[in-house]
Amino acid sequence: MVTEQVVNDDGRGPSYGWQPFTKNWGFECEVWYPVEGIDNQHFFVVFTDSWVKISSDKFQNAAAVGFKHEFGGADNIAFAQFASMFSPFHNLQTWSSPVGAFNGKTLTLRVWCENDEWLRIWVNGHYVGSKMPTADYKFNDLRRCVRLVNRSYCHCYVRWVNHYDRPSTIPPLSVWSSVFYDDFNRADGAVGGGWTQLGTDAGIVSNRYTHTGTNVNSVGLIRNVGNLNGRARIQAVVRNPSTIDGSLMLFCNETGTQALVANIRNNSVYLGRMTSSVNGTPSFFDFQDIGVTIADGDTLAFTVYDEISWLEINGTPAIYAGNVHDVVPRTNAYAGVRVRYDGSNSLTFDDVRIYSGIGT
């Protein structure tokens, strides 16, 4: 039983010293949380420092997942961060409870962590969402322990806990087979080579694919790679990403009005989906508000594998997203890139390679 502590709007609560040994781990528990009333209340599972850590900053920068009863009575699943165990939480993100009200229900929480930096959340078997803690809050070999925080007018009853190491969801590179490669090392002009260009203001310039017109718009370059059934990867070298935007695209439809994207803008990359025509002024929906910084000449690899996606920068995973086929179907058969002219400049791509993970 985790007793009520409504007077303490911070991260104090009982904890234990055991933690998983590897950077891919999971946490599960079953709770009875009879919360009610109109005031803000919450029960959090806080992932914090090991008791064996010897440091002046012990128990600081802790990320948490749990149950949040909102002012007015609504119940949500929440992610939050505690700068210390004795400070209020911040960086809050909430999702609607997939089981409705918490009171009167047995609740099972499952959290999977990937590479000590990406959390996926399920409640009673329903996928809720995912979140990457900010840089200072990522986990490590001395930050995978658990503290239980109950800021409520009721006790919370934790019936069992399972905290464990697990295999990575990210498959090894050996699962990928190259199905197409283009270095654009040919004469300036139209791309050809089996590509379909959506729009007219782009082509090859100096052995790279770039926007070539003076219209402030986007142009897509896609090709049919077949039904890859939710397992695809596109890799490219990006040039001049400082102020202009562009995209790597997977599971694009034939008309270029829908795709999963690694969207480049202002020297950063965000994962999301394209929601209108790539030719002109497309619209985008970001899966989360965290982007990663890139530089000229970086090799980017955007991958989708069994409902999750991630971006690698020069071979290192950097950002992730889950449930990506919720809107964009895995049967869309096109992949490619997008470039845009901003009135003075254009991002360019080189060495584009597309992979299939079917059969793995």
**Domain of residue 232, CATH code:** 2.60.120.200
284 contacts 296 by C-beta, under 8 angstroms: no
In a shared domain, residues 57 and 113: yes
Closest C-alpha among 57, 244, 45, 223 to residue 145: 45
| Residue 103: predicted pLDDT | 96
Does 337 or 241 have the greater pLDDT score?
Answer: 337
Q: Which of 165, 188, 208 is the last residue of a domain?
A: 165
In a shared domain, residues 212 and 338: yes
242 is a domain residue: yes
Beta pairing, strands 246-252 & 308-313:
unpaired
User: Would you give the distance in Å from CA 359 to the centre of its chain?
Assistant: 25
In a shared domain, residues 149 and 181: no
3-state helix vs strand vs coil in the chain, percent to 5:
0, 50, 45
| Residue 230: predicted pLDDT | 92
In a shared domain, residues 159 and 200: no
4 is a domain residue: no
252 contacts 259 by C-beta, under 8 angstroms: yes
Structure tokens at 141: 């070999």
Does residue 173 carry a pLDDT above 80?
yes
Q: Which of 115, 138, 165 is the last residue of a domain?
A: 165
Structure tokens at 28: 């599960």
10 is a domain residue: no
If you average pLDDT over residues 345-353, what whole number do you get?
93
Q: Which of 165, 200, 226 is the last residue of a domain?
A: 165
| Residue 126: predicted pLDDT | 97
| Residue 11: predicted pLDDT | 57
| Residue 6: predicted pLDDT | 65
* Model confidence pLDDT, tens digit, residues 176-199: 999 999 999 999 999 999 999 999
Count of structural domains within the chain: 2
Structural domain containing residue 72: 15-165
Q: How many residues does the structure list for the chain?
A: 360
If you average pLDDT over residues 44-51, what whole number do you get?
89
Q: What's the mean per-residue pLDDT of the chain?
A: 92
CA angle 340, 346, 349 (to 5 degrees): 90
In a shared domain, residues 112 and 246: no
* Model confidence pLDDT, tens digit, residues 3-37: 777 655 555 678 887 899 999 999 999 999 999 98
Residue 11 Rama label (left phi>0; alpha psi -120 to 50; beta): alpha
In a shared domain, residues 217 and 273: yes
2 is a domain residue: no
In a shared domain, residues 178 and 154: no
In a shared domain, residues 119 and 191: no
Q: What are phi and psi of 357, to 5 degrees?
A: -115, 15
**Residues 89/62/269/173 CA torsion (nearest 10 deg):** -150
In a shared domain, residues 160 and 40: yes
280 is a domain residue: yes
